Amino acid sequence: MNRLHATKDFWMAALRADSPALQDAVAQSGPEAVVPGCPGWTVADLVEHLTSELHWVREIAPRGVTERPGQPEVPARPEWDAALDGLRRELTGTIETLEALDADFPAWNWAPQAKKAAFWQRRMAHEISVHRWDAESAAERPTPIETKLAADGVSEVLDTWLPAGRRQGPTDLHGVVHLVANDAGYEWFVRLRGAGVALLDTLTILDTDDHHARAQATGTASDLLLMLMGRVRPDRLVVTGDPRLVSALRTG
pLDDT digit string, tens, across residues 55-113: 999 999 999 999 999 887 778 899 999 999 999 999 999 999 999 999 999 999 999 99
Q: Give pLDDT tens digits for 128-138.
A: 999 999 999 99
CA neighbours closer than 13 Å in the CB half-sphere of residue 177: 26
In the predicted model, what is the mean pLDDT of the chain? 93
Strand, helix or coil for residue 115: coil
DSSP line for 124-169: HHHHHHHHHHHHHHHTT---PPPHHHHHHHHHHIIIIITTTT---S
Q: Give pLDDT tens digits for 3-29.
A: 567 899 999 999 999 999 999 999 999
Contact criterion met (CB below 8 Å) for 225 and 144: no
**Residue-range domains of the chain with CATH:** 8-143 (1.20.120), 150-247 (3.30.1050.10)
